[in-house]
Structure 1
Amino acid sequence: MSSSLLLKNIYTLQTSFDKEALHGADLLIIDNKVGRIDPAGKISSKGVDRVIDCSKHVVLPGLVNTHHHFYQTLTRNHPAVQNAKLFDWLTFLYDVWKYLDEEGIYYSSLLAMAELMRTGCTLTTDHHYVYPHHVQGDPMAIQFEAAETLGMRFSPTRGSMSLSKKDGGLPPDTVVQTEEQILRHSEDSIRRFHDSSADAMRKVALAPCSPFSVTKELMKETAALARKYGARLHTHLCETADENDFCLQMYGMRPVELMQECDLIGEDVYYAHGIYFNDEELKIIADTGSHIAHCPSSNMRLGSGICRVAEMLPMGINIGIAVDGSASNDSSDMLAEVRQALLLQRVRYGSDALTAKEAFTMGTINGAKMLNFTNVGKLEEGWAADAAIWDLSTAAYAGAQSDPVAALLFCGDSHYTDYTIINGKVVVDRGTLVGFDEALLAEKANAISKRMLDRAARKEAL
């Protein structure tokens, strides 16, 4: 049976960021698609299942998060690594993450997605690459269960690490896998969960963790496997100067050349960070159509550097926005991340380096393109009904009504939506998460976090 939802008398509707905003329009959702838009606001509410008065609201396409590590929500803000650089940060936290279990995977996934939804995100990926040997369940299945509970459109990556400390890597032996295990489970995950349709609720990508945590052979075989099934590929790349030094020492080449040798480059590949590309490498990224997931908060938090976004965009490089792991951000506030992307470019390139519309484009349609959702990222007739809706009538936005959309980035004291809609369903309703009790979620996450930290402090044997 068909369902319908009418967004009535919208104060400001931005259907996409290459068009002018509409004022006073109506938007009718039928089932999981945008059914009709009337700029004059004349759509009748007769027979509509639900009507939401949007006369004080800005309605945007839902935001898209292109890189995350959900499990890290359990180890945020740890005093020992609040001021650490990436490699030191990783070395310390691996000895906590090795205690992650099935319950931790489930509740950290709920927590990260809840934060994302409440701040306007309607499509997210996750890069889960820690596979503790004591975990009996399937982490990807657990994550999809959490996504279904909340109603999130979800495209996780099957991450992988095969090099532990004994092999010259950073993680302990107990969280890495053999290449045979990785490839077998990667193929199984694609077969079980990957949906290639343009507005699927589930997709799967394959993601060797980084050049310093897997072998060249695994990267090559992973690339071939993903392409066999038409799945995306992902990895961390050029996040720090240390990574460049590591690749030169271990492989005798810089990271981009390594990606070329491993065939881990191209229109079906997206890299997290991309800070330390040189000019020649930027041209390679542009020529190959590879994508970049920009993580401004994490890059500032760890002191990693500033991605050259303002130089990349004119080259035609597709750049999305990402909150990154919640132990290096340390939140999953998606609207805040779009704001950070806007501001950080201005630190390096000046006050006109990135506009609000450009930042929102990166945070919507660019991200959807990166994750291969070709019918997501706009609010146009026939497109997926994913929308983020903010109330602009509060004191925090007073005096900012000359540009209501940009006001979301330049102003405000809360990034929480009034409503978030995914696949035609209201998943945040009047500011409240629909799919799970938030107080219970916080209680469970805190308990799991404490248990992991206590075990790590005791150096408990596994």
Structure 2
Amino acid sequence: MAEGRTVLVGGRASDTTADTPGAVAEIAIADGLIAQVGSAAGQVERRGGDTVIDVDGDIITAGLVNTHHHLYQWMTRGRATGCNLFDWLVTLYPVWAQLDVEDVLAAARVGLAELALSGCTTAADHHYLVPRGDDSVFDAIATAAAEVGIRLHLARGSMDLGESDGGLPPDHVVEDTESILVSTERVIDRWHDGEMVVVTVAPCSPFSVSETLMRESAALARRHGLKLHTHLAETREEEADCLARFGQRPLAVLEEWDWVASDVWYAHGVHFDDAEIARLAQAGAGVAHCPSSNARLAAGFCRTRDLRAAGVPVGLGVDGVASNEQGTLMTEMRQALWSARQGTQDPAALAAADALDMATVGGANCLGRPDVGRLVPGARADLVVWPGEDLADIPDPVEALVFGPDRRARLVFVGGQPVVQDGMLRGLDLAAARRDLAQRARRLWP
């Protein structure tokens, strides 16, 4: 329709990237959707009633998609900085057990705001700690997402295997299986709308959940037509734990539990062998690559080149900021490049366009969202305008964005609505939210 369109003009594109989701020069938004895209000036028609925004040399991309996060961990940044995963968890479980719902709300506000300011329009939060059984923590996370204005994939995480039953987490931070399943149904009924909030069923990891919970969760999710998510193949310690307890590697264990399918994506996926990569591709299961967290915890490097070459959907994830203190996908795009090249000792292992693809289309594919992560007519109008004045000397805009200095978004639209404008968040007082978070976090300091 002619009325109410927003048209961005003057963006920067190059011949080598104009046909990718990464770079366009002009774009028209109408009714919350992308109406028209042009890779050069003048390709998008002007209509009477259009609101035209000149972005003069800035870089336009699809909104970034974060496939794995733990927002509550904004309460514990900078802790356990020299540990492997298991030691890190053992150190932090007692601290996380002290959190309450208001703490989780404060952390989610800051975490989602930081994501929005750094170009993320869709974020998957895997929340698996329910202090004292109060599952209103999930209401708090959804409330924070509504305040900030970005899409939330709310992963109702869970743990039911405490130390006394052979699991890693202490008994006082796990829930009983039946309570988890009842709560998951409640979260779905209250929050799932398939657009702004998508609920995911997400038991935590093989070393913190029972086989019963995994099987029952899979059945529950499939009754509702929802996706499944869990941590998998993150560390050698996890692999050794699965071999000791089940006599099989982690993916084989999940295969027996009916968790290798196109409605599943896994966090990390660092230690898959060739046969497992082929099986993932055959099944259509995805991987959330979290390169900064993997590096900080010395977990290893994800075989992103091999996974992508096999056809496995690969997205990027921030993971928790207790293992990645920045909490932005801008950081992860560059770190994904460095990890792939360092791990393979091949400078062609991953290109800037590949990193941006994982941060947009790849992430959307993991989440089962063909409507986001793309700058194509008919997709949701989730897009980012990045400041480009300091990148004008770099020939290719996508390489400029990924290789260049970290930056905040100038404009962020979600469903055609501005969430960030002139580099400022519209829906939340971030300074006040940061003060609240800091005050709460300090009470947990040793």
Same fold by TM (over 0.5)? yes
Following TM superposition, by how much is the alpha carbon of 1:21 offset from its aligned partner in structure 2, in angstroms?
7.0
Q: After the TM superposition, which segments of 4 or more aligned residues of structure 1 sit over 4 Å from their partners?
A: 13-18, 20-23
* Alpha-carbon contact 2:356-2:402 (below 8 Å) kept: no
Distance 2:22 2:161 in 1: 50
Q: Which amino acid aligns with 2:316?
A: I
Distance 2:16 2:263 in 1: 26
Q: Distance in 1 between matches of 2:159 and 2:17?
A: 38
TM-score, length-normalised on structure 1?
0.91
Tell me, yes or no, if the aligned pair for 1:336 and 1:415 is still in contact at 8 Å: no
Give the structure 1 partner of residue 397 of structure 2: 404
* Cα separation, 1, equivalents of 2:420 and 2:61: 15
For 2:253, give the aligned amino acid: L
Find 2:437's aligned residue among 420, 432, 445.
Answer: 445
| 1:79-98 equivalence runs, <5 A | 81-98=80-97
Q: Deviations over 1:381-435 (max 9, x none)?
A: 11100011111112xx2521x10121111112x3211111111111111111111
1-structure distance, mates of 2:238, 2:437: 32
Alignment match, 2:108: 109
For the Cα contact (< 8 Å) 2:22–2:356, is it kept in 1? no
Mapped to 2, the partners of 1:55 and 1:45 lie a distance apart of 20
Report the alpha carbon displacement of residue 125 of structure 1 after superposing the two structures with TM.
0.3
Structure 2 match to 1:29: 29
Structure-1 separation of matches of 2:156 and 2:262: 19
Contact 2:23 / 2:60 at 8 angstroms: preserved in 1?
Answer: no
Structure 2 counterpart of 1:387: 383
Q: Distance in 2 between matches of 1:313 and 1:46?
A: 44
Alpha-carbon offset, residue 285 of structure 1:
1.3
Q: What does 1:368-387 align with in structure 2 at a 5 Å threshold?
A: 368-387=364-383
The residue type equivalent to 1:375 in the other structure is D
Q: Cα deviations across residues 278-324 of structure 1 (Å, max 9, x unaligned)?
A: 22222211111111100000000000001111111111111111111
Cα distance, 1:347–1:275 mapped onto 2, change above 3 Å: same
Which of 268, 281, 294 is matched with 1:299 structurally? 294
Report the counterpart of residue 163 of structure 2 in structure 1: 165
* CA–CA distance in structure 1, aligned partners of residues 207 and 23 of structure 2: 48
For residue 255 of structure 1, what is the aligned residue in structure 2?
250
Q: Does the 8 A contact of 1:17 with 1:361 survive in 2?
A: no
What is the identity, as a one-letter code, of the residue corresponding to 2:110? L
> Equivalent residues in 2 for 1:136-285 (5 A)?
138-196=136-194, 200-285=195-280
Q: 1:221 to 1:155 in 2, by over 3 A?
A: same
Q: Is the 8 A contact 1:14 1:21 kept in 2?
A: no
Q: 2:316: which partner in 1?
A: 321
Q: What is the CA–CA distance in structure 2 between the aligned matches of 1:32 and 1:13, rounded to whole Å?
A: 27
Aligned to 2:76: 75
Determine the structure 1 residue equivalent to 2:414: 422
Match of 2:7 in 1: 6
Structure 1: distance between partners of 2:270 and 2:163: 26
Change (3 A) 1:133 1:16: farther
8 Å contact kept, 2:21–2:61: no
AA of the residue aligned to 1:176: V
What SS class does the counterpart of residue 60 from structure 1 fall into?
Answer: strand
**Separation (CA, whole Å) in 1 of partners of 2:16 and 2:149:** 22
Query: 5+ residue gaps in structure 2?
Result: none
CA deviations 1:196-240 (Å, max 9, x no partner) are 4xxx11111111100000111110111111011110001000100
Structure 2 SS opposite 1:217: helix
Q: TM-score w.r.t. structure 2 length?
A: 0.95
Question: How many percent of aligned residue pairs carry the same amino acid?
Answer: 40
Q: Which amino acid aligns with 2:215?
A: K
In the alignment, residue 94 of structure 2 is paired with which amino acid? D
The within-5 A match list for 1:325-340 is: 325-340=320-335
CA RMSD of aligned residues (A): 2.0
What's the offset of the Cα at 1:134? 6.2
Comparing 34-43 with 203-212, greater Cα deviation is found at 34-43
Cα deviation for residue 62 of structure 1 reads 0.6
SS at match of 2:386: strand
Q: Any conservation in 2 of the 1:418–1:429 contact (CA below 8 Å)?
A: yes
Matched AA of 2:277: L
1:44 corresponds to which letter in structure 2? R
Deviation at 1:22, TM superposition (A): 6.3
1:26 deviates by 2.8
Q: Secondary structure at the match of 1:282?
A: helix
The residue type paired with residue 46 of structure 2 is: S
Change (3 A) 1:17 1:64: farther
2-structure distance, mates of 1:14, 1:73: 40
- Paired letter, 2:354: E
Paired position in structure 2 for 1:460 = none
Aligned residues: 442
**Structure 2 CA distance, aligned partners of 1:72 and 1:209?**
15
